[in-house]
Structures are given as structure tokens and as C-alpha cells.
Amino acid sequence: MNNSSLVTHHSSLLLEVGTEEIPARFVLGGVKQLRDVLEKFLTDAGIDFGEAFEYATPRRLAVIIKNVSDKQKDRVTEVVGPPKKAAFDAAGNPTPAAIGFARSCKIDVKNLMTIKTERGEYVAATIEEKGRMTNDVLSESLPLLITSLQFPKSMRWGSQSLRFVRPIRWVTAVLGGDVIAFEIDGIKSSDMSHGHRFISPFPFEVKDPLMYVALLSDKYVLADYNERKETILNEIKKIEAAHGCRVHEDKELLDLVTFLVEYPTVILGEFDRKYLSLPKELLITVMRSHQKYFSIEDKDGNLMPNFIVVSNIKAENSDIVKKGAERVLRARLEDARFYYEEDRKHPLWDYVEKLRKVTFHEKLGNIYEKAERTAFLCSFISEKLNLQSKEKLLKAVMLCKADLVTGVVREFPELQGYMGMIYAENSGEDKDIASAIYEHYMPRFSGDTLPSGEMGSIISLADKIDSIASFFLLGLSPTGSEDPFALRRQAMGVINILMKKDIPIPLDILIDKALQSLEGYSPSIKSLTEEVMRFFYQRFEGMLSSDGYSHDVIDAVFSTKGRDIKDIAGRVDALSEFKEMPEFPALLMAAKRVYNILAKAGKGILKEDSLTEDAEKGIYKAAAKVKESLKEGSYTALFDLTLPINLFFDRVMVMDKDPEVKANRLALLSFVRDMFNMLGYFSRLAG
């Protein structure tokens, strides 16, 4: 007997999907999906494999997997069929149910067995499945795996029936030295790949998957996206060293350009110094957003008339690319200068009236009306806080959206707020007003800077709460992963401002006031406050949980239905610290004795003069003292209740035969429980 047929061989696998240029923001997610589905398939198919590597450029998504077994493992599976009483008659002969089950399992009916389950006896079949050759298995399955990839946007291209992010031009599929043969939408797989579209466009053969990266490098393609990123960074550092400058660090732009090119060449360009008179962020945005260029500043932080472009060509062609990039940028900068100069011909206040023509939402009026609602809420907040700058605050509110109708912001929406600040300063507005216009959008995202000024904080708070209340009014609250109006992000901004700024107004009162300004849009608006509060609580709980606070502490504090965000955050922090103290277990045990006995008791009226036992008087005196300390925010005073509670339960019969004595003692314990509840419901704590 020849035993060589029993030996399993291992080979490397290459799967490359070649396409037209995929949008840069989709490339990384696409190749990670390809790797994941391929690894999962091999695992599910019983095919052993080793380490996997992913490679991606704008024109290709590729995965190499080492040590792939040349065949599947043999499998033995047990399949449960019908109940025994349905499979065999009284004489023990197989019924049609048994015969049909055996046929579906491709075994003789006499090979069926009986097994015992929780539901009784059933017939079952043991199916032995011989492993197939890996190449054959992949040949059948790879087309489906490729077409299963999900992208934010995909479509049918031309006359093709396949939906994909971009048209597929070739598929390279090799296991060992053999092609994995299949066809996808008229394109046959092969061992041929393609080099750089312009520098080395001809197809080339890949017999060994492990040579794939080196072969592509010879064809002017750096397949490893991390290598491309490092190449770009190293070239930038050389330019910085040679010219004594600093290229603005921009991780998002770096990731973007990494997936825009296959063979990066970093080029230093320049523009006319006259454009440096434009606002700094406007210049940076023109270079970054429209052209994907990096901006540069000198050692003092001043913007220089230079930029970095990452090109997809050989270095010897840099001059041509440089001149083209400079020409295009000059046109963009000229447009920006035109819009900026046109905008400055009018004071910022002139743009406010134009907000009436900009729709906030078709059912919620225009931006001017939103600004008025925000001003209404800001006015309420300023009165509550007794602000001296109310007039400036309300002026800033009405100006804060005015830049939306300026030429620059229409062209560069990401500059809203910043350009409002610049135009306010140019119009001679107070610096606090200009700063508030810029800061009222903060925080824009998780981890973003909070407004530094009081006016910016109040306007940001009011603007965000109005937006959330408005969309809840229309029934457009976030659902699942859908949040088209970014209400979750805005809620997090509100929570962070209330946590870290000195605005001691309960959140439900702010929501009530925001809804009050919306009463003209709906008659049934009052019931919304609790719904909106639940939405905020969910965000707040998630934020505290991600910050490392335990679920039971969060639950204990939130169960008290507090409305002051800063107070809730402080109590969560305090209770978390309590749990780490050595004396806390004894306090928790004492507290739970109180909660347990009151679980089914009503709220009675405590009569102090009816307390006769020393232990009764002792626990009351201790609780009254704790109450005074709690008013000053000293939660550690609760530890003074441990001993009086234990003495009370050891020496006093709570459930006295006299109904009045019993009721008074329960009311006393209810008073004690109220002290714990000022921090959190201790009954919800683990331990």
C-alpha cells in the first residue's frame, strides 16, 4: 500500500481582486472583510491554515494565507431524525419517515441508530464525509465570498450584473503553484496580476503566492499599505529637515493619501505668498479638503507658502506633477480669496436675515427660527445663572449661524463657526462674541475640546438641546445604528458640558424649556421630556461605563432619578471610591438590612417623640447628623450609620405587636434609607 496518499501537504494561498480605483475611504475596510470571510470559510470548511496577511491599494484587495492544507479534514457528524416511535412500527419495521431520513443522509436504513434525548428516543445517523481537495472547495466558493463583501456604496457597472464597489478587472487566485479556477461575472480567475497602471501596466505571472509582494514591488506597486505610509512619512521628514519646516500632522489625511496611491512620491510645492493674507484655517482647508495636500508651517508656527503633495508616479516626473499641483491650487486659492473678499464687504449681522431662507427642517422652519429658539433657551439659562452679559450672549446666539450663508462656508462647510468668528472680528464685534460663535459647535466629536468660554458653553448647550428636542418632536429619534441627525453625538456634547462647566441647572428643566419653544409645532409635546431624558440617560450610562465605572454603581446612582448631570457624575465617582474602602462591606451589609425590611413597607410619618428605645434614638440622632453632612456634599458621613444600624436591629423588634410602634419604626428606617438614597440605591450594589 502506498502511504504517500495519506500525507497532507500545505501550500500558500493568494487571492487578489483587481478593480478600478476604489474610493480611498473604502479600501481598508474592504480588505479586512476579505481576510475575515476567507479565514472564516477555511475554518468552517475544515481546512487547516496558518498566518494570514492583507494587502491593499486603490486597485486591489489581496490576502495571502500561509500553510493552507491541500485537502479538507474528514468529518463525522451525527444527524438527528424523527422520533423512534414515528420511525418504526410496532413490529420494528422502518416507516416511510425512517426510509426518507436514511435516504436524505445517503445511508442504508439498517444503519440508523437510536439515541436518547431530553425529548425522548430519536433515530439518528452517523455521516462520514471525506475531505475534498482544497482547490476544488475554493473554486466553488470564492465567487460567493468575493461578492459577499459589503461596502458603504456599491452598484452595478455598465452591462454587468454584479454589484460591487467598483468594476472588477481581474482576479488572481493561486494555491501553491496552481490556479484556483472559477469565473465571476464573466471574468476568469488566473495566476496573472497587474502592476502600476501607468508605470508598469502589463500583466505578470504569480506562480508562488509568497513572491507576490516582491513581484509587485518590481512593477512599482507597494502592496503593503503600512509600507506606503512609512514611505510617505520618511519622505516628509526629509523635507522637514532640509527646509527647516514642519508639516502639519494630519493622521486622517495621511491614511487617505496612503490609499490613493500605489507608488508614493512626496513632492514639495509652493504658492504665491499673497494668499497668506487669507485666514490660516481657510488656507489649510483649501489644501486639505479639495486637493489632499499637507500644509506647512515654519518653526514659529506661521503658515508657509508651501505644501506637500503625495503623487502616484516616479520621482523623475516630480517637476511635472509639482507644476500641475501648483496650477490647480492657485485656482482654488483664487476662488477662496474671491469668496472671502466678497463676504467681507458686509458686516456679519447683514447675513442674519438671510438665514430665513435656509431650511433647518421642512417641519421645523428655518435656521433663523432655530436661532430664535436657541436664544430663548439661552435667555432662560442666563437668568438662572444671573449672568451680567445676557445682552452679549443673545447677540452671539443670533450671529452664530450667520456664516452659513457666506460664500466661503457654502464652498467649505467644515469652516462653519471658524469663519463666523473671523467675520465677527472683521465686523468689529466683541472678542467674547466672536469666540462664542466659533466655540458653540464644540464638542464636535467624542474627545473634542469643550468650549472654553461661558457664552460658547451656554450657546453650545442650548443649540444641541434644541436640535435633540426638535427631532424627538418629529419622531426622528435614533434607531439602532441609524442616527442621521447626529443626535447621539450632540447628547454626549451636552452631557460633557454639564459635567465639566458650571451650569447647575437640571437637565429635565432645560429640556422642558426647549420643548416649550416648540409648542407651536405640536400640541402633545409635554410627554416628550421623559422620553428625551431616557435618551440622555442611555448615553450617559454608556459614557460612564466606557470610563470604567462598574454597572452596579451606575445603576445604583441612576435609580435615584437625579436630574443634575454634574451631581450624578459626582455621586458615581464617590460611590466607586466608597466600594474600594475597607469599611465599605460592613456599611453595605448594614444598608441592605434597612432596604430588605422596607421592601414591602409603605412610606410612614416618623414621630420623633415616640422613639423610646436607646437604639431608636441613637439611629435617629446619627441619621439626622448625617443628613446635615450630606447637605454639604460629605458622603463619607454615611459610614457613621454602620454601627447605629446594627445596634438598632440587634436590640429593637421592628415588627412590634403594637401597629403604631411598628409603623413608627418602619418610618424611622425609611428616614435612614433616605440618607443612603442621597448617594445611590445601595440595594442595587453587588456584594
Mean pLDDT of 66-93: 88
Of the pLDDT bands very low, low, confident and very high (cuts 50, 70, 90), residue 5 is very low
Residue type at position 183: E
Q: 415 is in which domain, residue-wise?
A: 351-548
What is the pLDDT, as a whole number, of residue 669?
94
More confident residue, 538 or 524: 538
**66 and 137, same domain (yes or no):** yes
Sign of the four-CA dihedral 270, 271, 275, 281: negative
More confident residue, 577 or 3: 577
Rounded (10°) angle between helices 134-147 and 24-44? 140
What is the distance between the alpha carbons of residues 71 and 45, in angstroms, rounded to a whole number? 10
Of the pLDDT bands very low, low, confident and very high (cuts 50, 70, 90), residue 317 is confident
Listed residue (230, 280, 285, 237) closest to 258, CA to CA: 230
**93 and 153, same domain (yes or no):** no
Share of the chain above pLDDT 70, in %: 97
Give pLDDT tens digits for 372-416. Answer: 999 999 999 999 999 988 999 999 999 999 999 999 999 999 999
Share of the chain above pLDDT 90, in %: 78
553 is a domain residue: no
Among 221-225, 337-341, 522-526, the minimum mean pLDDT is found in 522-526
What is the pLDDT, as a whole number, of residue 3?
41
177 is a domain residue: yes
What is the distance between the alpha carbons of residues 24 and 39, in angstroms, rounded to a whole number? 24
Phi and psi for 276 in degrees, rounded to 5? -65, -10
Q: How far does the chain reach from its first CA to its final CA, in angstroms? A: 67
**20 and 119, same domain (yes or no):** no
- If one counts the domains in the chain, the total is 5
- Mean residue pLDDT of the chain comes to 92
Angstrom distances, CA of residue 512 to CA of 440, 466, 527: 21, 10, 10
More confident residue, 327 or 5: 327
**386 and 291, same domain (yes or no):** no
Radius of gyration of the chain (CA): 35
Give pLDDT tens digits for 581-609. Answer: 999 999 999 999 999 999 887 778 999 88
What is the distance between the alpha carbons of residues 360 and 490, in angstroms, rounded to a whole number? 16
**531 and 415, same domain (yes or no):** yes
**99 and 232, same domain (yes or no):** no
Mean pLDDT of 20-46: 95
CATH number at residue 644: 1.10.730.10
Q: Is the pLDDT of residue 141 over 50?
A: yes
**DSSP element (H, E) containing 645:** helix 642-651
**DSSP element (H, E) containing 470:** helix 454-473
**429 and 542, same domain (yes or no):** yes
- With a CB cutoff of 8 Å and minimum separation 6, the contacts of 41 are 141, 145
Q: Is the pLDDT of residue 256 over 90?
A: yes
Of the pLDDT bands very low, low, confident and very high (cuts 50, 70, 90), residue 521 is low
**232 and 327, same domain (yes or no):** yes
Listed residue (381, 374, 373, 632) closest to 503, CA to CA: 381
Domain final position from 172, 194, 218: 218
Cross-strand pairs, 54: 63
**54 and 35, same domain (yes or no):** yes
Of the pLDDT bands very low, low, confident and very high (cuts 50, 70, 90), residue 111 is confident
What is the distance between the alpha carbons of residues 286 and 329, in angstroms, rounded to a whole number? 8
Q: Is the peptide bond before 443 cis (omega within 30 degrees of 0)?
A: yes
CATH number at residue 64: 3.30.70
What is the pLDDT, as a whole number, of residue 158?
65
Q: Is the pLDDT of residue 1 over 50?
A: no
Q: Is the pLDDT of residue 7 over 70?
A: no
**17 and 86, same domain (yes or no):** no
Q: pTM for this structure? A: 0.79
Of the pLDDT bands very low, low, confident and very high (cuts 50, 70, 90), residue 204 is very high
438 is a domain residue: yes
- With a CB cutoff of 8 Å and minimum separation 6, the contacts of 587 are 578, 638, 639, 641, 642
Mean pLDDT of 613-628: 94
148 is a domain residue: yes
Q: Is the pLDDT of residue 349 over 50?
A: yes
**542 and 587, same domain (yes or no):** no
Own/partner contacts of 553-556, CB < 8 Å, gap of 24 or more, are: 553/579, 553/680, 553/685, 555/681, 555/684, 556/680, 556/681, 556/682, 556/683, 556/684, 556/685
What is the pLDDT, as a whole number, of residue 159?
65
Q: Is the pLDDT of residue 123 over 80?
A: yes
**25 and 144, same domain (yes or no):** yes
140 is a domain residue: yes
Residue type at position 218: D
Q: Is the pLDDT of residue 477 over 70?
A: yes
DSSP conformation letters of 130-177: PPPBHHHHHHHHHHHHHHT---SS-EE-TT---EESS-EEEEEEEETT
Give pLDDT tens digits for 648-685. Answer: 999 999 998 999 999 999 999 999 999 999 999 999 99
- With a CB cutoff of 8 Å and minimum separation 6, the contacts of 355 are 366, 367, 368, 371, 401, 402, 404, 405
Listed residue (170, 177, 151, 146) closest to 14, CA to CA: 177
- With a CB cutoff of 8 Å and minimum separation 6, the contacts of 602 are 666
561 is a domain residue: no
Domain final position from 343, 369, 403: 343
Among 94-103, 110-119, 149-158, 352-361, the minimum mean pLDDT is found in 149-158
147 is a domain residue: yes
Domain final position from 189, 218, 247: 218
More confident residue, 399 or 612: 399
Residues in the chain: 687
18 is a domain residue: yes
CATH number at residue 484: 1.10.3210
